[in-house]
């Protein structure tokens, strides 16, 4: 097990509980295993037995360990993080929110259905590459990388409840504003987390900060890349390419768009062309003539 970190501001008993908890969750200490004695743990961590006892009490209250009189302290026989025996967990609303965000994996990007793409990317697929694109743009432009990525990751989070409405449908369908949806999504979350999520939505929708503008450009650049990829599969996605390019607002976004437009989406082609040579090189020998 790890030792105490002198730079950690937490009290020693809290650190000890965290170290043992992590060891249980990662499988370093298996379910049913007997923990070292209080004296051994005190010596290992360089603390008093009373400090160890406080850590054990915390882990017991959390449901990770149990004490057997005259025998010792044992890890409980369960494979998952324990919850309270009575009542709802304090973070149940947070867990519900995360399950809801998982629904984005089931939602297709509806606009691509107009091209006849039988199984278009999901909203979650889109959001992942938007986040990667936002990271690149922020790094290029000296913006806050973490903030930009967070804005990108959650920019379509409201679509769990209102779905993805394609451009041809927006003239006929009225939906709740993303900020209103986020208020409902975060209603049962701890306020310190809910505030972060609400702020991300408000910042993205206002599109005033530099990070928000980069996030919007990342959204359009991801659509541009997806359009290029679908074009290579025979779909006429030229309109999507044109509208994505026209919507770019930052210099970094426009520069990256130029690179994207001049680059083949078949990123793997050079590897395929030199497959035998690369394979031989990584294995440390020359390819045999006529071999595969």
How confident is the prediction along the chain (292 residues), in pLDDT tens digits per residue? 889 999 999 999 999 999 999 888 777 888 889 999 999 999 999 999 999 999 999 998 888 898 888 889 999 875 455 556 566 677 888 899 999 999 999 999 999 999 999 999 999 999 999 999 999 999 999 999 999 999 999 999 999 999 999 888 888 988 999 999 999 999 888 899 999 999 999 999 999 999 999 999 999 999 999 999 999 999 999 999 999 999 999 999 999 999 999 999 999 888 888 888 777 777 765 545 554 4
pTM assigned to the model: 0.70
The domain tally of the chain equals 2
Is there a single domain that holds both residue 68 and residue 108?
no
* pLDDT given for residue 24 in this prediction: 84
* CA dihedral angle for residue 147, residue 196, residue 156, residue 142, rounded to 10 degrees: -10
Contact present, 75 and 24 (Cβ < 8 Å): yes
Is residue 80 assigned to a domain? no
Is there a single domain that holds both residue 221 and residue 96?
yes
42 contact partners, CB below 8 Å, separation of at least 6: 48, 49, 51, 52
Q: Which of 50, 55, 49 is nearest to 21 (CA)?
A: 55
Q: What is the domain range of residue 47? A: 12-75
CATH of the domain at 71: 1.10.10.10
Contact present, 140 and 252 (Cβ < 8 Å): yes
């Amino acid at each position: 097990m790890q030792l105490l970190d002198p730079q950690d501001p937490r009290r020693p008993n809290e650190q000890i509980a965290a170290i043992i908890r992590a060891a249980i969750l990662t499988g370093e200490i298996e379910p049913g295993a007997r923990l070292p004695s209080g004296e051994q743990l005190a010596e290992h961590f360089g603390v008093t037995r009373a400090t160890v006892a406080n850590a054990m009490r915390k882990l017991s209250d959390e449901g990770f360990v149990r004490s057997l009189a005259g025998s010792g302290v044992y890890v409980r026989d369960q494979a998952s993080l324990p919850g309270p025996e009575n009542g709802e967990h304090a973070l149940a609303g947070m867990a519900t929110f995360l399950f809801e965000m998982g629904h984005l994996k089931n939602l297709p990007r509806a606009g691509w259905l107009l091209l006849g793409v039988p199984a278009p990317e999901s909203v979650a697929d889109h959001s992942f590459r938007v986040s990667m694109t936002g990271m690149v743009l922020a790094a290029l432009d000296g913006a806050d990388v973490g903030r930009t990525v967070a804005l990108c990751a959650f920019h379509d989070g409201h679509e769990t409840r209102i779905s993805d409405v394609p451009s041809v449908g927006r003239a006929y369908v009225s939906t709740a504003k993303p900020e209103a949806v986020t208020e409902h999504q975060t209603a049962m979350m701890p306020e310190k987390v809910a505030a972060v999520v609400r702020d991300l939505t408000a910042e993205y929708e206002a599109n005033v900060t530099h990070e928000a503008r980069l996030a919007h450009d990342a959204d359009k650049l991801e659509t541009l890349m997806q359009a290029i990829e679908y074009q290579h599969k025979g779909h006429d996605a030229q309109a999507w390419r044109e509208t994505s390019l026209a919507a770019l607002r930052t210099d970094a976004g426009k520069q990256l768009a130029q690179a994207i437009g001049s680059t083949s989406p078949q990123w793997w082609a050079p590897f395929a062309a030199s497959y035998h040579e690369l394979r031989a090189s990584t294995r440390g020998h020359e390819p045999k003539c006529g071999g595969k």
